[in-house]
Amino acid sequence: MVPGFRSLDCRIAWMKLPCRVCRVGRKTPTLEDQKFAIFAFCRKILSLVDTSGEINLYHLVIVTPTLDLTNLRRLAQARRRCATKILELYKRANAGHIGSSLSCLEILVDLCFGRMEKEDVLVLSKGHAAAALYTTLSLSDRLPEKELSTFYQDGTVLAAHPPCSGAIRAIPFGTGSLGHGLGLACGIAFSCRFTGKSFKVFAVLSDGDCNEGSTWEAALFASQQKLSALTVVIDLNGVQGIGYTKNILNLEPIVDKWTSFGFAVAVAEDGNDFHSLSRAHNAVKNSAAPRCIIARTVKGHGISYMENTVEWHYLPMKDEHYAQALSELADAGLD
Amino acid sequence: MRKEFSSWIENFGRNESRFIFLTGDLGFAALENVQAALQERFVNMGVCEQNMISVAAGLAQQGLMPLCYSIAPFAVFRPYEQIRVDLALHEMNVKIVGNGGGYGYGIMGATHHAIEDIAVLSALPHFSCFIPLCNSDVAGACAALFRHVGPCYLRLGFGVWPADAGELEEFKPIRKLTGSRLARPKATIVGLGPVLLNVLPWILERAETDVFAVSQMPLVDLSDELVASLRASGLLWVIEEHRVRGGLGEHLAARMAQQGVPFRLHHTYAVGYPDGLYGSQSYHQSRSGLDPVSLQETFQRLSC
């Protein structure tokens, strides 16, 4: 961001492209100004030129394309396939933690279907969202699909929480007890200093993870050691095991907390939206400090009766719940 | 043993580039040589034992060889869940070194003692504890620690091998230290760590018992010599600076029972703080009957 620029997020209708538009000028821009604008991309920067071909001296506009529509559509499709599979897995298993999985699904899809490269590492600290992890790994070809059908069954590798056996390469550590993931991710990121390898490490944490003292020990360490390979994504849905976070151990002001611990922090105000997630990642991607994305999400996202409820942390679906959930997913897909 | 440990580690670390030394902000006047030798591979993690273990697990997952150092209670009890989950369940090749096992930190008080460490660590899958007998045993224990691929623990203390006791056999899980001159020994004494040295002077003099040192827990294989000794003596006397539950006594008694060896068990162990009073390591040993005088009295009573 150029100092002194004001910014607004908008979708420029004729470009059909979600953009961040930064302006500087002596008058407040109007829609009329944009109407006659021609945008010429030069990597991230373009000049605003009016239809006569003269440079508009009142405005300099920087447009940062944050996500192209093709990619958005691809992520949305992946998200819908994953959500359908997650619901199927939980229904067949008659198991809970559905709300937790749906809460972080877009975070995981964003990582597994785009952001992560082959050598990058993902640690799901909120292991109770294992179904979301298994599904995104499977549909992004990191876990054999046939394994998914064994979810929650006797003799499975894929229990309700990720396995500790190391049987699945894409799952470096089994988790399920909160507060472990960030320290483990720190260790993996720290190893690059000694091995000379170069890859990114992503740790996905929950509200509950941020209750644990060990998480804050790890945050201190990540900052002290300037673990620039590390990105923490906090699936901040505001709901914990048996209540709302603000009534249990209020984490706010959470941005200040992570910032004061030395992280480069960006907020995805809608953490269930790929555009919002992408903007947040991009805002801090060049940071030399470890990064923290605060993703403000909705527990049970996408299923109306589950959204932002405490009980759908644990409840399994009855037949009518399942039918409605599938119907809502289908409706969303048509939108 | 700390001096011997740091000397061995310094040499090992110089020659093993995968080795990373992590400390929980402890080791004053003991680890400076290690720090100088390893440079950036010596990392002060701060007083964050939980994170130290998790970070070590992450390093090991990437093929490095981390060691976590603190005083024994802080190294074991504070991060126990990290040890269980991140190390043991994942079979991560991480070494934990706890200085001052047992009552080693004496007057520092109960928070600084580790008299339940073997019990809780021995219960974990894929986990081994190495307990050197004396200062000169540390190098062998360190070598065993690094031969063991997987999570393990080194319990350091302090003990000097008596000059008149002959040469100490090299480090092994179970070693016979001295044998009885009698065809039927009066007792089979088995001990864990340096506290066993408290019986040696007069045992050597009388030569009426067999004495064995156990230096690896959980027990791997019982030595034939140990089983034969107990069959002959019928009296198993276990001595350990550790609580009764989950220590050597219970482990060994169960194993001998499984072998079908008939025996009577006498167990001398750390009793904790029965009257809420604190003192030196010798004081606590005395309160537990683990000091040389108490042990001699016990032996006389047992062998009558």
- In sequence order, what DSSP letters do the residues of A106-173 get, joined into one string? HHHHHIIIII--TT-EEEES-GGGHHHHHHHHHHTTSS-HHHHTTTTSTT-S--SS--SS--STT--S
| Rounded Cα gap, residues B131 and B171, in angstroms | 10
* Same domain? A291 vs A196: yes
CA distance A219 to chain B (A): 9
Looking at the complex, report in whole angstroms how far the Cα of residue A161 sits from the nearest Cα belonging to chain B: 12
pLDDT band at residue A53 under the 50/70/90 scheme: very low
Residues of A in contact with B20 (CB under 8 A): 194
A334 occurs within a structural domain: no
CA A268, CA A265: separation in Å to the nearest integer?
Answer: 10
Q: So what's the pLDDT on residue B303? A: 76
To test the contact with chain B by mutation, choose from A194, A221, A225, A261 the residue with the greatest count of B C-beta atoms within 10 A, namely A194
Kindly report, residue by residue over B89-109, the tens digit of the pLDDT.
999 999 999 999 999 999 999
The CATH number of residue A305's host domain is 3.40.50.970
* pLDDT reading at A209 higher than 60: yes
Q: Which of A36, A65, A94 is the last residue of a domain?
A: A65
Contact across the interface for A187 and B57, Cβ inside 8 Å: yes
Chain B residues inside the 8 Å CB shell of A180:
54, 81-82, 85-86
Of B40, B58, B60, the CB nearest to A186: B58
Q: Suggest the residue from A121, A205, A217 to mutate for an interface test with chain B (most B CBs closer than 10 A).
A: A217
Q: Which domain holds residue A13?
A: 6-65
- Residues of A whose CB is below 8 A from B41: 194
pLDDT in tens, B111-132: 999 999 999 999 999 999 999 9
A-interface mutation test, from B42, B55, B65, most A Cβ less than 10 A away: B55
Instruction: Quote the CA–CA distance of B9 and B37 in Å, as a whole number.
Output: 10
Mean pLDDT, range B61-79, rounded to an integer = 98
Averaged pLDDT for residues B270-293: 97
pLDDT category of residue A224 using cuts at 50, 70 and 90: very high
What's the gap in Å between the CA of A113 and the closest CA on chain B?
Answer: 24
Same domain flag for A92 and A61: no
Whether residues A200 and A58 share a domain: the answer is: no
Residues 6+ apart with CB under 8 A from B72: B98, B99, B100, B101, B104, B114, B117, B155, B156
Q: What's the pLDDT band for A308 if we cut at 50, 70, 90?
A: very high
Whether A199 maps to a domain, the answer reads: yes
Beta carbons within 8 Å of B141's beta carbon, 6+ residues apart: B130, B131, B132, B154, B171, B215
Average pLDDT over residues B252-257: 96
Secondary-structure class of domain B163-302 per CATH: alpha beta
My answer on whether A129 and A197 are in the same domain is yes
Residue B279, SS3 per DSSP:
coil
Measured between alpha carbons, how far is B192 from B215 in angstroms, rounded to an integer? 6
- A–B CB contacts, 8 A cutoff, strictly below: 101
The pLDDT of residue B205: 85
B21 burial (CB, 10 Å; 0-12 / 13-18 / 19+) is buried
- Indicate whether A61 pLDDT > 60: no
Domain-located, residue A108: yes
From residue A58, alpha-carbon distances to A27, A46, A48, A50, A186 in Å are 7, 15, 10, 11, 47
Specify whether A121 is located in the same domain as A32: no
Q: What is the pLDDT of residues B141-167, one digit of tens each?
A: 999 999 999 999 999 999 999 988 889
**Record: contact B55-A218, CB cut-off 8 A:** yes
Residue A11 and residue A130 in one domain = no
pTM of the model: 0.89
Average pLDDT over residues B40-46: 98
Would you state the pLDDT for residue A97?
Answer: 93
Query: What is the reported pLDDT for A15?
Result: 41
With a cut of 60, say whether residue A286 has pLDDT above it: yes
Question: What does the pLDDT look like over A169-208, one tens digit per residue?
Answer: 999 999 999 999 999 999 999 999 999 999 999 999 999 9
Share of chain B above pLDDT 70, in %: 100
* pLDDT band for position A68 (cuts 50, 70, 90): confident
Give domain status of residue A32, yes or no: yes
Third-level CATH fold of B2-155: Rossmann fold (3.40.50)
Judgement on whether residues A236 and A283 belong to the same structural domain of the protein: yes
Tens of pLDDT along B23-34?
999 988 889 999
Query: In this structure, are residues A201 and A67 in contact, taking their beta carbons and an 8 Å threshold?
Result: no
Does residue B262 contact residue B253 with C-beta atoms inside 8 Å?
no
Q: Which of A218-232, A248-262, B152-166 has the lowest mean pLDDT?
A: B152-166
Which residue in B17, B41, B59 is closest to A187 by CB distance?
A: B59
Assess if residue A277 is contained within a domain. Answer: yes
Query: How far does the CA of residue B131 sit from the closest CA of chain A (Å)?
Result: 28
User: Could you tell me which residues of chain B have a Cβ less than 8 Å from any Cβ in chain A?
Assistant: 17-18, 20, 40-41, 45-46, 48, 50-51, 53-64, 81-82, 85-86, 89-91
Q: Is the pLDDT of residue A14 over 70?
A: no
Predicted pLDDT of residue A23: 46
Say whether both A18 and A97 belong to one domain: no
pLDDT at A20: 46
Spatial CB neighbours of A10, under 8 Å, sequence gap ≥ 6: A18, A19, A21
Residue A39, classified by CB atoms within 10 Å of its CB into exposed (0-12), middle (13-18) or buried (19+), is: middle
In this predicted model, which residue has the larger pLDDT, B99 or A70?
A: B99
Cα separation, A107 vs A270, in Å, equals 11
- Whether A50 shows a pLDDT value over 70: the answer reads no
CA A168 to chain centre: 22
A94 inside domain:
yes
What was the pLDDT predicted at B25? 95
A60 and A84 assigned to the same domain: no
Task: Tokens 């008596």: give the residue.
Answer: B162
Count of C-beta atoms within a 10 Å radius of residue A196: 7
* Residue B304 confidence (pLDDT): 59
Model confidence band, residue A334 (pLDDT cutoffs 50, 70, 90)? low
Per-residue model confidence (pLDDT) at position A55: 43
Q: Strands B188-192 and B235-240: what pairing?
A: parallel
Greatest extent of chain B over all pairs of C-alpha atoms, in Å: 60
Tokens of A245: 């976070």
Query: What tokens does A36 get?
Result: 């006659």
How would residue A67 be classed by pLDDT, with cut points 50, 70 and 90? Answer: low
Percentage of chain A exceeding pLDDT 90: 73
Residues 6+ away with beta carbon under 8 Å from B38: B10, B13, B14, B19, B20, B21
Phi, psi of A307 (to 5 degrees): -60, 130
> Nearest CB to B51: which of A166, A193, A217?
A217
Say whether B59 and A190 touch across the interface (CB within 8 A).
Answer: yes
Within-domain flag for A142: yes
**Residue A139: per-residue pLDDT:** 96
Q: Which residues of B156-176 are buried (b: 16+ CB within 10 A; e: fewer)?
A: bbbbebeeeeeebeebebbbb
Which of A172, A180, A221 faces B82 most closely, judged by CB atoms? Answer: A180
- DSSP notation for A50-106: -TTS-B-TT-EEEEEE---HHHHHHHHHHHHHHHHHHHHHHHHHT---HHHHHHHHH
User: How many domains does chain A fold into?
Assistant: 2
Asked whether residue A329 is domain-assigned, the answer is no
